[in-house]
Structure 1
């Protein structure tokens, strides 16, 4: 016989609280005692089992999903003090207003990488998060091997991953069999697409950028990946999945004289929301960029060194990052021959 776990809630006066939970909230009584003067009761409802008992525990808070579309969130207080919150089970994404800022983040600056989800090491590339609108992380898996990940998805407006070194085996909802993402490759993760990281090489590193900075990661224990389907044109919240393979993408002339660029096709996949490219020298050691008028101009040195020209000169090396505020002129000088600069822009 299976047993159900109970959440203990303090209740020193059972009768009015029992009426509230059964009549107002729709719970049903499972057990109650003693019969002549009830003090303890177990109730079930809304996927929960509660135990109301005097003298122990706390009154607590219950969050109950709204059952009908269009209902407004609200709260109630039970006679025993328990707070009842009726909440939207799938609230809309909140994208905070942009707080523009000039940022240079070097490898040696600030705290080191901290352990995040699935044992991955996260280094923050935009410490101020631009008012909570964007997050950028330099993520590493030093040892390699199987990754303790699970099928999950993100409630996001935008999220991309660019592989700096090593490889990882990934699998995505309705995008065929697992595949390898290698150095130079880029993946766009559209909103709510289910996915999983299966394994990685040692010294695996990626740059991940998302909007908003604070977003939910939700497990989907009901889905098994791969799904056995392949739908390259499937729409996920107005975007399509993208795996841009560096080995299949030629370098072409850049808007910066004597530099060349390798694109990703992200502008098309995001319907103009974002773009991502890698830039490298092709004879020159610097360029002056036209001021960008959009939300975000993010740069990350994949390799090599250079000086960033914006509000002065800033020496940059491998794995250093920067953000240029909207409308400000900037440029690169003294680029080494092996410089590779990752650029991400929103909008495209």
Structure 2
């Protein structure tokens, strides 16, 4: 639309209607739309209606279409053929039942990364998505600069990111000024927290996990970030925002002899829903783990190499990933000196390594 057009010139959707009078009985009389224009006066054939955030033009010819309206009730079909469906404007989050599976995903195998939201390239790390319960993606932005993102939020149960390469500038609702998210850092994005990606370096890489796999991303056109308020301990659906800075977090002895860990504080931030840590060798080259009894155990190689011993031997290198189902014995061997393995587990404490 021309920027100089008068404010009264609005966008509208035309739907087919061959007999206007009975259609108006439904749209105006039953659904609460109001008439804005109608013509010709002696035998009306065309009407423009407004209501429920819509502007409709009923006119002869064309597809009668489908209208989805907030509310409860059985679907109905107007006399002109338009189907009206009543929907919950904010339906509850559905988390599909878990379908356990042992998975190894290697870099360079499987389909090439696809273009996703805001021009980012997505590589699927959990084909099959464990029945739709989890998604894990290796995301990259090859060429840095401003990112074509907008203020948005996600309807999710759990969502976290770990930066592998480069940096990106992020800003979050009630969390202060934009900050750099750099290699090794971990972020928890609690349910519905508003956020935006502002810019990135060249060759930026991040690993992201979400539950459920299929979840909505919703724009918030009203909120400007950063917000004026600062509430770092704000509760978002039982979780609080977390930015664990790798450069400020020491490596400490791990439960496995000969390995050490860099913790993230994820267990506290999620109220025990999840935990995340990076582990590396500190004198040993491997370990044997007892079966875990958790919902989800995921490994992602940030650096280096090792052999995963589970249902056979599987050589692992950078950006390779695996999922260990509950009850499965597993372990690592032949770990390189520079190995850094990210472990993600739900619930917190599910790790047996």
Name 2:210's counterpart in structure 1: 210
* Pairs within 5 Å for 1:169-318: 169-318=169-318
RMSD: 0.8
Q: Is the 8 A contact 1:161 1:208 kept in 2?
A: yes
Name 1:164's counterpart in structure 2: 164
Local SS of the residue matching 1:16:
helix
Name 2:45's counterpart in structure 1: 39
Q: Is the 8 A contact 1:73 1:88 kept in 2?
A: no
Name 1:81's counterpart in structure 2: 81
Do residues 59 (structure 1) and 75 (structure 2) align?
no
How far, CA to CA, are the matches of 2:55 and 2:345 in structure 1? 49
**TM-fit CA distance, 1:320:** 0.4
**TM-fit CA distance, 1:182:** 0.8
Local SS of the residue matching 2:75:
strand
How far, CA to CA, are the matches of 2:228 and 2:290 in structure 1? 46
**TM-fit CA distance, 1:73:** 4.8
How far, CA to CA, are the matches of 1:160 and 1:43 in structure 2? 45
**TM-fit CA distance, 1:327:** 1.1
Do residues 25 (structure 1) and 27 (structure 2) align?
no
How far, CA to CA, are the matches of 2:11 and 2:146 in structure 1? 33
Name 2:94's counterpart in structure 1: 94
* Pairs within 5 Å for 1:131-142: 131-142=131-142
Gaps of 5+ in 2: 1-5, 349-353
**TM-fit CA distance, 1:74:** 3.0
**TM-fit CA distance, 1:165:** 1.0
Q: Is the 8 A contact 1:41 1:51 kept in 2?
A: yes
Local SS of the residue matching 1:109:
coil
Q: Is the 8 A contact 1:151 1:195 kept in 2?
A: yes
Q: Is the 8 A contact 1:177 1:228 kept in 2?
A: no
TM normalised by structure 1 equals 0.97
**Residue 19 of structure 2: which of 13, 19, 22 is its match?**
13
Local SS of the residue matching 1:74:
coil
Q: Deviations over 1:242-278 (max 9, x none)?
A: 0001111110111111000000000000000000000
How far, CA to CA, are the matches of 1:216 and 1:191 in structure 2? 11
How far, CA to CA, are the matches of 1:298 and 1:18 in structure 2? 56
Local SS of the residue matching 1:118:
helix
Residue 73 and residue 321 in structure 1: after superposition, are their counterparts in 2 closer, same or farther (change >3 A)?
Answer: farther
**TM-fit CA distance, 1:314:** 0.6
- Runs of 4+ in structure 1 off by over 6 angstroms are none
How far, CA to CA, are the matches of 1:245 and 1:104 in structure 2? 28
Do residues 48 (structure 1) and 16 (structure 2) align?
no
How many residues are treated as equivalent by the alignment? 342
**TM-fit CA distance, 1:228:** 2.3
Name 2:319's counterpart in structure 1: 319
Name 2:152's counterpart in structure 1: 152
How far, CA to CA, are the matches of 1:289 and 1:180 in structure 2? 35
How far, CA to CA, are the matches of 1:230 and 1:215 in structure 2? 27
Q: Is the 8 A contact 1:74 1:87 kept in 2?
A: no
My pick for the range that moved more, 134-143 or 72-81, is 72-81
How far, CA to CA, are the matches of 1:266 and 1:332 in structure 2? 24
